[in-house]
Amino acid sequence: MNNVARGFAFLTLILTAFICAEAKANDLPIKPFEAVYDMYRQGDKLGSGSRSLTTMGDNTYSIELNSKMKWLIFSDKRKESSLFHFLNSEIQPVAYNYERTGTGKDKSLIAEFKSDKSLVVSPKAKKNAAPEQWFPGLLDEMTLHIQVQLDLIAGKKRFEYEVVSNSGKLKKYELEVIGNEIISTGQGRFNAIKVARIYDKKKFYAQHAWFIPELNYTLARMWRMKKGVEQYDLVLNNYTPTENSN
């Protein structure tokens, strides 16, 4: 092999390695799935919900949540979805939609993360409104789910996020891993990572979430308390890996 051939072969190897590395950086570690949940409050079943992740092709994904619950005269039905890109190992939201109907006032919100860096939120919040320009790392309520899973996969123990909330506000979340627990689900018992949300000391809230590494680090349980009263306990009923949809 002459020097020209050796040089060409070496260049080919370098380019192949670069392409493979770039493809890996754009490959979402979380595979498509559908998860079904049961919702309880103080031992009574209130309703059910589902979360699903779908790949749309071209490094574009959709994460969607649907829930329906009823307790005494109170009813609540919600649908949330986010379209996002995953490029260079980072989430870039594209569009977020939220709809809520039931007891009380119905509510909806749309947030668009445009390619010119502008952020269009409708309706716009009156206080603590999301900025008019989005910045790297800014998430919505649904891509937040995916980012937490990615950070757990990466082995992180403490997380801070800035999020466009379903009320159009710029919201900060602080979370930390507080241990591991064996939990029971509709799909069996699993060793789960327990994560707590960190609240201002003046607020009487507590929120814990459990994620199962064995099931792609999916959310398996979420529990919330307010002023000493349990608000809800969301528990995984079934988890199913799904085929890619391109």
- Tens digits of residue pLDDT in 120-177: 999 999 999 999 999 999 999 999 999 999 999 999 999 999 999 999 999 999 999 9
Q: What is the pTM of this model?
A: 0.85
What does the pLDDT read at residue 69? 84
Question: pLDDT confidence of 225, banded at 50, 70, 90?
Answer: confident
Average pLDDT of span 1-27:
46
CB neighbour list of residue 67: distance below 8 Å, 6 or more residues apart: 37, 39, 47, 48, 49, 50, 76, 77, 78
